[in-house]
Structure 1
Amino acid sequence: MENFVRVSFLGAAGVVTGSKFLIETSEKNILIDCGMFQGLKELRQLNWENLPIDVSAIDVVLLTHGHLDHVGYLPRLIKQGFRGKIISTAPTLAIAEIILKDSAKIHEEEAEKANKEKYSKHNPALPFYTIREAEKTIRLFNVEIEDNWVTLSEHISYRFQYNGHIIGATFIEIDINGKRFVFSGDIGRRNDYLLDDPKTPEWADFLFIESTYGNKLHPDEDIEAILTTIIKDTIYKKGNLIIPSFAVERLQTLMYILWSLYKKNIIPNIPIFIDSPMGNNVLDVFKRFPKWHKLSMQDYNAMCNHMNIIKSYRETWETIDDNRSKIVIAGSGMVTGGRVLTYLQQLIDEPSTTVLLVGYQAEGTRGRQLLDGVHEIRFFGKYYPVKASIKSIESLSAHADQQDLINWMSHIKNSPENVYLIHGEPTALDAFRVKIETVFHWNVNIPKLTQVEKIII
């Protein structure tokens, strides 16, 4: 075996989204994650470019978890010639299947709508990938259990370790010729409503760690008190509370909190509508994999029965036309697509409406624009005035903050030869670099997009 490993940073380098890291060795070529870029237009445009590598030479893809920015590029990878296995935990692959099918459907519908209404610069507008291409991708899925070393070749083995964040999420440890490469994936938080605390690595020769909140501490907010106040204010205004939500984990967490508040008689029995086809499918994943979360089946069933689960687009319009004060939780979390656009298109110009943002809002997304106080917002080629009240709860984030990240790293018994900061915006990356150097005195690198690192082992 050659005495070096080549690592290519094909995504989530200098930016948050688009996770893709290629490890090339003389025995096997491994891609860690295969996500889409999201947010700024110049990033989204990168999705349409072929990867600057020989895709057919990749032997295996290992997935840390099922979010779109970690799995959404898979169909394009196959289109470019990948024929190997896609491996992860069972819940991650279940989530990835839901997300790929859902996003393919959205891609097809948006292309069709753009062609019909002629608001795209492209003629014709094409879907990023189709449902058929998503299904072809899913056929390559292979389940591996968590906390089990798997031999990939003579000198290479790997394992998945529980990491919180979302159901099925892991960090990945890869041993190559006696050196350990650790890819953090997205690290969850301790004391989560639904998930156990993340496990931690004990050894890392080369650490690739996410930095989404590398420059921030989550505020010590009383989430339940904030939600209660907003809900009571919504009822007082006889308005609507619209919560754009990620379909995976955030939606289920919000359902649990709202159900708990009602059960404890803290909020009245205000109608709650869940309008996320993908989120409904994710609820089934919670049911299928009870060992991966803390919710009992009794509580799960009671929570679901308390909500109005919307099954069709017709019911979406019936909900909009319902004059009662209500809570609507709908995808997507960054207001980039999904059913929430229909609600906001109809209701964002009403002062009685409140929009509550409950997760990370990437640069270039409508969610970030709303967070930054934009006075008008564009849906489907038209601008709408923002008269709704815009609120946010930062501490519902499923990402570890700076202190959580430092705590996670502090369990590593050795000093890594190199630490690579990934999955962060420039200010977060630089602040986190300084923090790690100050606390641990480790060598820290901030790789650039498409950078190739030759590591001697």
Structure 2
Amino acid sequence: MTFLGAVGTVTGSRFLLEGPQTRALVDAGLYQGLAVHRRRNWDPFPADPAGLDHVLLTHAHLDHIGYLPRLVKDGFRGPVTCTRETAELAAIVLRDSAHLQEEDARYANLAGFSRHDPALPLYDSRDVERALGLLSPTSYDTRVAVGPDTDAVLRPAGHILGSATVEVRMGEHRVVFSGDLGRGHHPLLQPPADPPPADTIVVESTYGDRTHPPADPQVLADAITRTVERGGSVLVPAFAVDRTELVLLEIRRLMDQGLVPEVPVHVDSPMALASLDVYRDAAARGGSQLRDSARTLMAALDGRNVHAVRDVAGSERLNNPSSPCIVISASGMASGGRVVHHLAQQLPERRNCVVLTGYQAEGTRGRQLADGARQVKIHGRYVPVRAEVVDVPDFSVHSDAEETLQWLGRAPQPPRTVYVVHGEPRSAEALAGRIADELGWTAVVPSYGERVLLD
């Protein structure tokens, strides 16, 4: 196994498995955040993409699927196994990714701020369509042939719709990849399935050095109320997949209970709106990964005051709203998408408020805002931060250190080795230490490009 991503960072998940007869990649994620990491997206892939037999995807977030079109551009033609919902969401996420990259390249060439002449996208829409044609959806708990000596099983991970842990059986060796683990109280999804027997476990550590604080809905309620009273607007950078749904549900609850003023709520993200439709369809179908209440909860999103913004002109009007409102827009780390234009216009105004609702990776604007930046760089210019910035951790759908240890502890047997990935260095080291101390297992934080034997 070679660690080609999600080591020393939470982005770019890529794990290469090589056996006597099979070469498979678990996740094909895009690097985001720090420039030193983003540049790896442009590096030649360490293995010939045309020589890969199979790709297995844990879920549809960009840091787990966003590199797939580049693999296809460079020659990969094998099957890509994932759940049905991951396939549906991947189509939305990857098409949006290609569009944004094409637009960014076009704008960079027009404005002349790129160091490359001409600026080019990492991949384009044609590459995405070829990649989507390779997706091979499967059901949970169904064994899938990966190669002559290799098979795999996907099980619910409880992180977002369609998310999965991946068990790969290569010869006699069993490797389990946690992907991104969810929590026990997601409003729509069941908790993660327990890990199966494994010789090796590769586990995420996004929150490996901390425990989520108890939920405090009053933080969001107070932020909305304060902002509306001073005549401002609330801007919520939110991940288009899953986070927008959860934020909408909570705002609807607060308004129904009279805890915040009734103001218009604008969902300004075509990708988020398309993802909402996938969630609605899944709730209507039912399924083992969804809670019984999912259908009722999703119906609540169609209530009063929620406005879908699909066109560019409508989005531009939200740069400077004429009256108090709430704008939910992607991306969740403010690293791209329509929310960046809103930030450029709204951050300088003290009456406004920016509410952060998820993990903010190093090197992103969201992280800078969370850390108290007085200015952020947007489209080549520095924008002063005068708006109020509020961090609301209640919406996290990543397990924290305690929850991850509990998930590992439910394994039916101790693995030989646990590799701790998908975390910043402090988080990964902290979780590895606790695994060793509390479970008595061998826990290792691998380095980028490190290759280990599985036997």
TM more than 0.5:
yes
Q: Give the aligned residue type for 1:246.
A: F
Shift in Å at residue 177 of structure 1?
A: 2.3
Give matches, 1:19-34, under 5 Å: 19-34=13-28
- 1:26-75: CA deviation from partner (whole Å, max 9, x where unpaired): 12111000001111001101100111112221101000000000000011
TM-fit CA distance, 1:282? 0.3
Partner of 2:39: 45
| CA distance in 1: counterparts of 2:208 and 2:11, whole angstroms | 15
Which aligned pairs between 1:262-411 and structure 2 lie closer than 5 A?
Answer: 262-290=255-283, 291=286, 292-294=289-291, 296-306=294-304, 307-411=306-410
User: Quick one: distance in 2 between partners of 1:94 and 1:431?
Assistant: 35
Query: Aligned match of 2:134 in 140, 145, 157?
Result: 140
* Aligned 8 A contact 2:207 2:399 in 1: yes
Q: Which amino acid aligns with 2:47?
A: I
Specify the SS of the correspondent of 1:111.
Answer: helix
The residue correspondences of 1:235-250 to structure 2 (distance < 5 A) are 235-250=228-243
- How far apart in 1 are the matches of 2:400 and 2:429? 15
User: Superposition pairs for residues 55-454 of structure 1, below 5 Å?
Assistant: 55-222=49-216, 224-290=217-283, 291=286, 292-294=289-291, 296-306=294-304, 307-454=306-453
Provide the C-alpha distance between the structure 1 equivalents of 2:94 and 2:37, rounded to a whole number of angstroms: 19
Is this contact kept in 2: 1:50–1:80, CA < 8 A?
Answer: no
Task: Say whether the 8 Å CA contact 1:13–1:449 is kept in structure 2.
Answer: yes
- How far, CA to CA, are the matches of 2:201 and 2:88 in structure 1? 27
Amino acid aligned to 1:109: E
Quote how far apart the aligned CAs of 1:321 are. 4.0
C-alpha distance in structure 1 between counterparts of 2:183 and 2:372, whole Å: 28
SS in 2 for 1:128: coil
- Counterpart amino acid of residue 317 in structure 2: E
Change (3 A) 1:297 1:192: closer
Q: Aligned to 2:176, what secondary structure does the other structure show?
A: strand
Sequence identity, in percent?
37
Q: CA deviation at 1:266?
A: 2.4
Deviation at 1:322, TM superposition (A): 3.2
Rounded Cα–Cα distance in structure 2 between residues aligned with 1:86 and 1:417 = 28
CA distance in 2, matches of 1:182, 1:299: 32
Q: C-alpha offsets along residues 257-309 of structure 1, whole Å, 9 cap, x if unaligned? A: 11122222322211111101100010111122222434544542441343111
Change (3 A) 1:297 1:220: closer
Indicate if the aligned counterparts of 1:98 and 1:281 stay in contact, CA closer than 8 A: yes
Task: Map residues 6-21 of structure 1 onto 2, 5 A cutoff.
Answer: 7-21=1-15
Structure 1 runs not aligned, ≥5 long? 1-6
- Check conservation: 2:62, 2:93, Cα contact below 8 A: yes
| Shift in CA distance, 331/213, structure 1 to aligned 2, threshold 3 Å | same
Counterpart for residue 4 of structure 1 = none
Structure 2 CA distance for aligned equivalents of residues 350 and 28 of structure 1: 56
Relative to 1, partners in 2 of residues 1:366 and 1:153: Cα closer, same or farther, differing over 3 Å? closer
Query: What's the CA shift string for 1:357-414, capped at 9, x where partnerless?
Result: 1111100101111111111111111111110111101231111000010011011121
Counterpart AA for 1:364: G
2:96, 2:174 → 1: CA distance? Answer: 36
The alpha carbon displacement at 1:197 in A equals 1.0
Residues 254, 260 of structure 2: 8 Å contact kept: yes
Seen in structure 2, the aligned counterparts of structure 1 residues 321 and 425 have a Cα distance that, compared at 3 Å, is closer
- What is the DSSP-based 3-state SS (H/G/I as helix, E as strand, rest coil) of the residue aligned with 2:28? coil
8 Å Cα contact 1:286-1:293 kept in structure 2: no
TM-score under structure 1 normalisation? 0.96
Distance 1:196 1:324 in 2: 39
Aligned equivalents of 2:36 and 2:171: distance in 1? Answer: 38
Would the alpha carbon gap of residues 437 and 299 (structure 1) be closer, same or farther in structure 2, given more than 3 Å must change? closer
TM-score, length-scaled by structure 2: 0.96
SS at match of 1:431: helix
Are the counterparts in 1 of residues 233 and 325 from structure 2 also a CA contact under 8 Å? yes
The 3-state SS of whatever aligns with 2:318 is helix
Structure 2 unaligned runs (5+)? Answer: none
For 2:348 and 2:290, locate their aligned partners in 1 and report how far apart those are by CA, in whole Å: 39
SS of 1:92's equivalent in the other structure is: helix
Q: Is the 8 A contact 1:9 1:22 kept in 2?
A: yes
Aligned amino acid, residue 60 of structure 1? H
How many residue pairs get aligned? The number is: 449
How far apart in 1 are the matches of 2:402 and 2:296? 34
1:136 & 1:444 partners in 2: Cα distance? 38
3-state SS of paired residue (1:455): coil
**Secondary structure in 1 matching 2:452:** strand
Greater CA deviation, 240-249 or 224-233?
224-233
Kindly provide the CA deviation profile for residues 142-189 of structure 1, in whole angstroms up to 9, marking residues without a partner as x. 111111122334542211000111110000011222322100000001
1:231-272 deviations in Å (ceiling 9; x for gaps): 110111110111101001110000111112222232221111
Contact 1:186 1:210 in 2 (8 A): yes
Query: How far did 1:427 drift?
Result: 0.5
CA distance in 2, matches of 1:321, 1:40: 30
